[in-house]
Chains A and B, each alone.
Chain A
């Protein structure tokens, strides 16, 4: 079984974000593997392991031929990667990104399953998995907290407000994986060394046949204003000396919630 995992390489989320003069997210400096995607990579490795055959391929769209995040996922055990990097991609919206990723999945060929996170940490539009599914004309099973594959079908536990639904579809299919569902492995030293020599297929927008469909012109949206949000004032701060819970009780009393 072959699994393609869409991964995003993002600025360190612990660092304060910033916008460039064109109002795109600043992506200078080193990019890292979005932690949200580490769950999909781990899930894919486990599914291939269970199937006993096949491999995991990564697909990533990033500026400046960035590979550091890809190397992390390759070190975890993915076999190879497709990297789409092209100046023409600046300003691409979520649908344009999904078009690029769907074409890249087709370029990989023979995928049984595509995994994504539910949303990226930096952009978090949250529509890419289903958009990829629709563009490929594959079913999209979203918000999976558990995935099994067998008999040509994928079965997931889909997160709901009340619990979960069991959802099944014939392969090939797309599934998005929620955080925390598996414990991503740490790359071993051997894995890190091996990752340096794993193939990364670098492609352009033209290679995917998407000239003119992505980037600013394809996005059909324009930022009209960026403003500082009203600040919230900090209130009282007290050191607990054994009775701070009483302050909480009084506060809740004042608010009439108890």
Chain B
């Protein structure tokens, strides 16, 4: 089953298209007859190749200048939707993706389905699924009312595959006025964590929780992550406590990760956390509470003190390096 026209808001960091955009384009090809991308940035010609290779025939490009990308994206989409009438617009569940879907929703008075893990066409309905209650239940929701439908997806919901298409035709979008939303200006950018893979793209994720005892002990997590060429993550508890920034949070109100190996250190495994990591291929947990729920999903569970086990593990790995 398919629908007519599916759009993907494709995000990129400079020339580098986000992997989530390619995942969404791949899914869009499966459910849409026509697949097009909307891109907010100043490198449209540089990204048109890879977007085309993943199925976008056209990329509508708008330059946000120094305004927030999501705010300009929402305004551009409103204008473009009026001209081209897509049936479905797919967004990445990222910071800018969330801004864009939210702003657009209010602009064109459409509901949103976010945190989606899948989408399918059933007869004349478009239905998206999302995991709730710590991933124990899957809810499927159908859009009602008039298209376009707006849905945001957790990264890694789909596997990106090239279609071998030619570079997308670039259509510059001019005359976008974001109104007061566009008055939020980016003055400068601070890069703090240039090292290592991104949390959502890492093969190995090492996360820490309250069982670490204090903020300084998060260094154990970072050291182990670095040794395994992985990314450091965190439970909500230690983000709420201010030990690490929100960008590290794995879970329902944070990120969903699906690495080859997930290592949970001092994390009890509240449902809030489990939903964000139980899709990992392999899970290793270290926790001193033998009854911790994290052990119900772990392939290898160590009942022990992270402060004893992890330093020895780090030492053993360093010895092999």
Name A's B-contacting residues (CB within 8 A). Answer: 13-14, 16-17, 23, 35-36, 93-95, 98, 118-119, 121, 124-131, 133-135, 137-143, 145, 155, 157-170, 173, 178-181, 183, 219-229, 232, 234-240, 242-249, 251-252, 255, 257-258
Residues on the B chain within 8 Å of A13, using CB: 272
A95→B245 contact, CB < 8 A: no
Asked if B158 is an interface residue, CB under 8 A from chain A, the answer is no
Residues on the B chain within 8 Å of A131, using CB: 102-103, 105-106
Residues on the B chain within 8 Å of A248, using CB: 263, 284, 286, 300, 302, 309, 313
Query: Which 4 interchain pairs have the tightest Cβ spacing?
Result: A240-B304, A130-B102, A163-B192, A127-B102
A163→B193 contact, CB < 8 A: yes
Name B's A-contacting residues (CB within 8 A). Answer: 68, 70-71, 74, 93-95, 98-99, 101-103, 105-107, 109-115, 122, 125, 127, 131-133, 135-145, 179-194, 198, 203-204, 228, 236, 239-247, 249, 252-253, 260-261, 263, 270-272, 278, 282, 284, 286, 290, 295-305, 308-310, 312-313, 316-317, 320
Residues on the A chain within 8 Å of B253, using CB: 36, 118-119, 121, 124
CB-based nearest B residue for A238: B302
A244→B304 contact, CB < 8 A: yes
Q: Report the bound CA distance from A220 to B125 in whole Å.
A: 12
Residues on the A chain within 8 Å of B246, using CB: 118, 143, 145, 159, 178-180
Q: A180-B240, A243-B312 are in contact. List 7 more A-B contacts (CB 8 A).
A: A94-B114, A124-B115, A133-B103, A220-B145, A229-B135, A247-B300, A258-B317
B95→A159 contact, CB < 8 A: yes
B98→A251 contact, CB < 8 A: no
Q: Report the bound CA distance from A130 to B184 in whole Å.
A: 12
A134→B298 contact, CB < 8 A: no
A121→B109 contact, CB < 8 A: no
A237→B303 contact, CB < 8 A: yes
Known A121-B272, A221-B142; contact A16-B245, beta-carbon cutoff 8 A: no
Known A139-B184, A160-B189; contact A224-B300, beta-carbon cutoff 8 A: no
CB-based nearest A residue for B107: A134
Residues on the A chain within 8 Å of B243, using CB: 180
Q: Report the bound CA distance from A163 to B145 in whole Å.
A: 39
Known A159-B245, A180-B246; contact A139-B240, beta-carbon cutoff 8 A: no
B144→A166 contact, CB < 8 A: no
Q: Report the bound CA distance from A93 to B298 in whole Å.
A: 35
Q: Identify B247's interface contact among A35, A159, A249, A258, CB under 8 A.
A: A159
Known A95-B106, A137-B179, A255-B260; contact A245-B242, beta-carbon cutoff 8 A: no
Q: Report the bound CA distance from A236 to B272 in whole Å.
A: 23
Q: Identify B113's interface contact among A128, A130, A221, CB under 8 A.
A: A221
B309→A167 contact, CB < 8 A: no
Q: Min CB distance, B85 to chain A, in Å?
A: 17
* Interface CB pairs A-B, < 8 A, 20: A23-B139, A35-B240, A119-B253, A130-B99, A130-B103, A142-B70, A159-B95, A161-B95, A167-B68, A167-B184, A173-B184, A235-B298, A237-B290, A239-B290, A244-B286, A246-B316, A247-B300, A251-B300, A257-B203, A257-B260
B189→A163 contact, CB < 8 A: yes
Known A143-B246, A245-B312; contact A222-B139, beta-carbon cutoff 8 A: no
CB-based nearest A residue for B246: A178
Q: Report the bound CA distance from A125 to B112 in whole Å.
A: 8
Q: Min CB distance, A238 to chain B, in Å?
A: 6
Known A145-B245, A251-B300; contact A134-B102, beta-carbon cutoff 8 A: yes
Known A235-B301, A249-B316; contact A165-B186, beta-carbon cutoff 8 A: yes
Residues on the A chain within 8 Å of B297, using CB: 232, 234
Q: Min CB distance, B44 to chain A, in Å?
A: 21
